[in-house]
Structure 1
Amino acid sequence: MSTERELGDFLRARRGQLTPGEVGLPDPGTQRRVPGLRREEVAQLASISVDYLTRLEQGRVPASGSVLVTLARALRLDDDQRRYLYQLAGRPMVRRRRGVQRVRPAMRRLLDQLTRTPALVTGKRLDILAWNDAAAALFTDFSAYAPPRRNYVYLLFSDPAVRALHRDWEEAASTATAYLRMHAAAEPDDPALAVLVGELSVQHEEFRAWWAAHKVTGGVYGTKKYHHPAVGDLTLDCDLWESPDGSGQHLMVLTAEPGTPSWDALQALGSPAARTERTERQPA
């Protein structure tokens, strides 16, 4: 039997062993005609087409290295199963150590000195690494989220308060998706990206459509329009300043022209009323 056919058999067997709840999918609670996950569900989690997964399971095409990474994550393979998957595919299993993203001290100092200006430090995949009080007052209390959920794109799609904050949510969310697409081209075997894209693809139809469109952008700067429950409408200039050390970190700063209504609203974000409203918006 060919290794391609054995690889397909293994993929079918593994998805038959999993339940929707084990991979973070909603479980309708109804009896399924066949056990395990459907092809469509695995394809969404792995960010590949159903047709491609079908051909893989039928042993008709080889699997690329990037697809093996996403399939291993989607199918929740342990170390032995992952090693077996790579052996069947005839590819070396490269173990890449990915260090924890740490905020550069200079970035941290800049955040601390921007007292009335919302500012964030983002890393790869638009993970939110650090923020100042003004950013928390504008968006949400980021410390209330576990680090894997502390991601700008994830919050745009999955947090109702952050989603409602954006007056032009579709523009903000589609641009952030295009930024992720650009990162995926630079690091196609990033396992954390594979998990993030898989979850968003399954849970949000808009993300799935925009991801499939393959639109890309290198930045998310420009004009941002918000409606904050405590201070009303804000129109802010958003600029991203890239760290010169090649770490992929950016300082995202939101500013308004002094004397404008948006400037006044930014100053009001530090008021007791705004702090109370921010506490009420914290995730459960």
Structure 2
Amino acid sequence: MAEDRSTRGELGAFLKARRAELTPAAVGLADDGTLRRVPGLRREEVARLASISVDYYSRIEQGRLQVSATVLGALARALRLDAGQQAYLYELAGKPIARRIRRGPQRVRPSIHRLLDQLDRSPAMVLGRYNDILAWNAAATALYLDFAQLSLQERNYTRLLFLDPGIRNLHVEWEAAARLSAATLRLETAGNPDDARLTALVGELSVRSPEFRQWWGGRVVSSASHGTKHFRHPLAGPLTLECDTWTSPDDPDKRLVVLTAEPGSPSDEALRILTSWSAEDTSTESTQ
């Protein structure tokens, strides 16, 4: 019972955070001109958009009742939630999206390791639960750092973004990358609120990073699968790379992330030089 109340409280906090981001104009409502004590939509405006009573919506935000799938759908539409946010909302409510069972340490098949190695010009890695880095290729090492030198606890993409100065400086648009990584991590908490590994990671980041602590409190979630990343590499210089992510069909907790450059572009040439340097270093080490 206590867990149900805790989850309902998180659902209410998530709804409150989302309505704070919206304006009446953004959802097609006329601004009545009165002074708003807090930013965003009022509870009565959300209730009107979702066709439910203000009292009913207030009790949802206060965590005082369970919510039906029908009402969840109405709230998702009213608050303009994207696919990732809707998934998170339904997870919190314990509705259609089933909670996944954790089955111990994740493994990467040998065939996936071979695939990574064959992507010799494209930095690529496999991310698992909590954005842990499970596998990577030489190009990813050349771009980021040597993940093999890190402990298992340190080998986490979100942790590196927030706590490693080198990785932070590598990203030209660090704030956007860090916010997105925190938002994908937030998705994990809906189905696994009491997971010890996740709790420890969030706790460490909240203590050591004021930015993470602030953004985590905003309860933003995301399941973005593609985008453009801009890097400033200390050896290769500026790089503009397209990032694409594929979720494993047999394990939704694993994602393949691949970075590519436009053929013939300055970034493509810089990436070619960077990966060739990395290959030469590896060859030199192997002969010593």
TM over 0.5: yes
* Within-5 A mapping of 1:132-151: 132-151=137-156
SS class of match (1:148) = coil
Give TM-score scaled by structure 1 length.
0.61
CA deviations over 1:151-177 (Å, ceiling 9, x no partner): 000000111111100000000000100
State the partner residue of 1:190: 195
Alignment partner of 1:256 is 2:261: yes
State the partner residue of 2:275: 270
- The equivalent position to 1:156 in structure 2, one of 155, 161, 164, is 161
State the partner residue of 1:130: 135
CA deviations over 1:181-227 (Å, ceiling 9, x no partner): 11111221221110000000001000000000000001353101100
1:114: how far off?
A: 0.5
- The equivalent position to 1:110 in structure 2, one of 110, 115, 121, is 115
State the partner residue of 1:240: 245
* Within-5 A mapping of 1:163-242: 163-219=168-224, 221-242=226-247
Give TM-score scaled by structure 2 length.
0.60
- The 2-side partners of 1:211 and 1:223 are apart by 23
Indicate the RMSD between aligned Cα atoms, in angstroms: 2.0
Shift in CA distance, 173/136, structure 1 to aligned 2, threshold 3 Å: same
With CA pairs under 8 Å and 6+ residues apart, which has the higher RCO, 1 or 2?
A: 1
Gapped regions of structure 1 (runs ≥ 5) = 5-95, 277-284
1:110: how far off?
A: 1.2
1:115: how far off?
A: 0.8
Shift in CA distance, 128/275, structure 1 to aligned 2, threshold 3 Å: farther
Runs of 4+ in structure 1 over 6 Å off: 273-276
- The 1-side partners of 2:130 and 2:278 are apart by 33
State the partner residue of 2:29: none
Checking the alignment, whether the CA contact within 8 Å between 1:119 and 1:131 is kept in structure 2 is yes
- The 1-side partners of 2:102 and 2:219 are apart by 28
Letter in 2 for 1:194: T
Checking the alignment, whether the CA contact within 8 Å between 2:124 and 2:256 is kept in structure 1 is yes
Shift in CA distance, 252/218, structure 1 to aligned 2, threshold 3 Å: same
Letter in 2 for 1:143: A
Shift in CA distance, 115/185, structure 1 to aligned 2, threshold 3 Å: same
- Which range is displaced more, 231-240 or 101-110? 101-110
Checking the alignment, whether the CA contact within 8 Å between 1:243 and 1:251 is kept in structure 2 is yes
1:118: how far off?
A: 0.4
Identity, in percent, stands at 53
Checking the alignment, whether the CA contact within 8 Å between 1:166 and 1:226 is kept in structure 2 is yes
